[in-house]
Amino acid sequence: MTQQFSSVREAVDAIARGEVVIVVDAEDRENEGDFICAAEKATPDTINFILSGRGDFCMSVLQETSDRLELTPLVDSNTTRMGTAFITPLDHIKCKTGITADERCLTVKTIADPESRPDDFMKPGHVHLLVAKQGGVLRRAGHTEAAVDLARMAGLTPAGVLCEILDETGNRASRELLFDIAAENDLKIISIEQLIAHRRVNEKLVHRNAEATIPTRFGEFDIIVYGVEFEPQEPLALVMGDLNATSNPPLVRMHSSCFTGDLVSSLRCDCGDQFAIALEMISNESCGVLVYLPQEGRGIGLVEKIKAYALQEQGMDTVEANHALGHKADMRDYGVGLQILKDLGLSEVRLLTNNPKKTEAFNLRGFDVTVVDQVPIVASPNKHNIKYLNTKRDKLGHSLPSIND
């Protein structure tokens, strides 16, 4: 039986009911699963169950809670690998030792109470506190932030209880074991990656920072530069014509930045050619959008991409090089781009892409933007990029039937 994650909506509903869920982070990060519940809904029974994870019992809060309770970082210089922001651990003043499920529950619920004050607690205590970054998993893809996000999304106080899940040997529970635990206890299980994608699509995260008209050799476009909440990136849209006044849905190109291809016309890829072809095709119809997303090298960044180039010079293909550097073959995310399309008022598009997986991602992940047609955008190959194009076809599933060895 195939193991499948629950939906984010199912997990949020479970949190709202006071249930425990399992949240896993990326396999190339900590590769860890945590029990999580909303602090506001905690009971001695749920606390006792969470403690069965046998990891570190913690409570995740926002900075405002730390300030209200006059808490401080545990160390002056945080050198943990993931920068986990531990602050003063607490026990409620009525606790005897603070170690029991009942006592920890009292401490947790009082911390979550916005009326609680510093003199309600003893310190140090047995509830280890963590400060989540403002912006949640969009700022830091950790369980600390996921716990706060899930509680907030459930309409509860943004604070959560969490504990790592260990196996019988005391090591991190495997993905297989985590799914087994979820099934045995009827728990929802999601990934932080899912939570990030859900938030990037379902929350209003983009805003227009600047707009102007720009003449190009392909015609005149409106250029809109966007800001993204909690992220430093500045994506942009090149828009031609009235997007809502055409009989057919407009052509749309989601173009990920490629310094080497777009700016210096590198022959190692087809990115620069696709960029120009997309603008020309939009111009021919006098209507359409090119969304330019700053996610260089299929999401690994310019430095890592150049390192991958060096490995390709030694005989690896683009997928093998990414894997050798510890990256996935394709780490791009189109949530921000879809937010831009929604800001432009689009609900149906004809997508300029050779990547069927991109089309499936649009239509299957609840993005509220439907691809009604996948329009090929095939550049002529050259001797420098033929291996790259074959790899995109054979390993990444791109529709490039005319490319031959």
Active site residues: 330, 332
Comparing CA positions, the residue from 267, 272, 243 lying closest to residue 257 is: 272
Q: Residue type for 206, please?
A: V
DSSP 5: P
- SS3 category, 99: coil
Residue 392 token pair:
């995109």
Q: Quick one: residue 187, left, alpha or beta (phi over 0 = left, psi -120 to 50 = alpha)?
A: beta
Comparing CA positions, the residue from 213, 234, 361, 344 lying closest to residue 288 is: 344
Beta bridge partners of residue 166, listed in sequence order: 172
- What distance lies between CA 26 and its chain's CA centroid? 10
Q: Quick one: residue 26, left, alpha or beta (phi over 0 = left, psi -120 to 50 = alpha)?
A: beta
- 370, HSE (Cβ side, Cα atoms, 13 Å): 5
Residue 355 token pair:
């990547």
| Own/partner long-range contacts of 396-403 (Cβ < 8 Å, ≥24 apart) | 396/319, 396/329, 396/330, 396/355, 396/357, 397/355, 397/356, 397/357, 398/354, 398/355, 398/356, 399/354, 399/355, 399/356, 399/374, 400/354, 402/378
